[in-house]
């Protein structure tokens, strides 16, 4: 299983970025949960959003609701995180991760990823 993130960078507050996570090594048509996590300097890693492949439902952490949108392109086996109205507190390394052992979850905390990408840096600063 491989997860490759891209799309990070430096952006001013209020700006936008779109992260991509291209996957391989597992069947994208199967049921699984895939998500985005982030880790800011000196802080623990936190779940940002996830999609349950079984029904396409998405979950977001409260701090990004209304600003971030997660989507997937099944043909490209890729998931995206559109980040708008970015704030300095969104700064961190963003990781894509997949849990192949569950079909659906009701909270990001239930996700136990078995595979992680290498991460992409997002810096929000003036």
pLDDT at 31: 87
**Proportion of the chain above pLDDT 90, given as a percent:** 87
Tally the C-alpha atoms within 13 A of residue 5's C-alpha that lie toward its C-beta.
26
Residue 34 CA to residue 51 CA, distance in Å, equals 6
- The model's confidence at residue 57, banded by pLDDT at 50, 70 and 90, is very high
Tokens 């971030």 belong to which residue? 68
The answer to whether residue 89 scores a pLDDT higher than 90 is: yes
HEC readout, 58-123: EEECHHHCCCEEEEEECCCCEEEEEECCCCHHHCEEEEEEEECCCCCCCCHHHCCCCEECCCEEEE
Helix (H) or strand (E) holding 72, with range, is: strand 68-73
* Structure tokens that stand for 120 in this block: 């992409």
The answer to whether residue 28 scores a pLDDT higher than 90 is: no
pLDDT at 29: 78
- Reduce the DSSP state of residue 100 to 3 states and report it: coil
CB contact at 8 A, 116 and 95: yes
């Amino acid at each position: 299983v491989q997860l490759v993130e891209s799309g990070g960078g430096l952006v001013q507050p209020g700006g936008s970025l779109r992260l991509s996570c291209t996957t391989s090594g597992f069947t994208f048509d199967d049921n699984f949960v895939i998500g985005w996590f982030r880790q800011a300097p000196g802080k623990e890693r936190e779940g940002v959003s996830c999609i349950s492949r079984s029904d396409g439902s998405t979950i977001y952490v409260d701090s990004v609701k209304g600003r971030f949108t997660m989507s997937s392109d099944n043909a490209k086996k890729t998931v995206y995180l559109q980040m708008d109205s970015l704030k300095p507190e969104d700064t961190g390394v963003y990781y894509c991760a997949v849990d192949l052992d569950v079909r659906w979850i009701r909270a990001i905390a239930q996700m136990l990823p078995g595979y992680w990408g290498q991460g992409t840096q997002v810096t929000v600063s003036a």
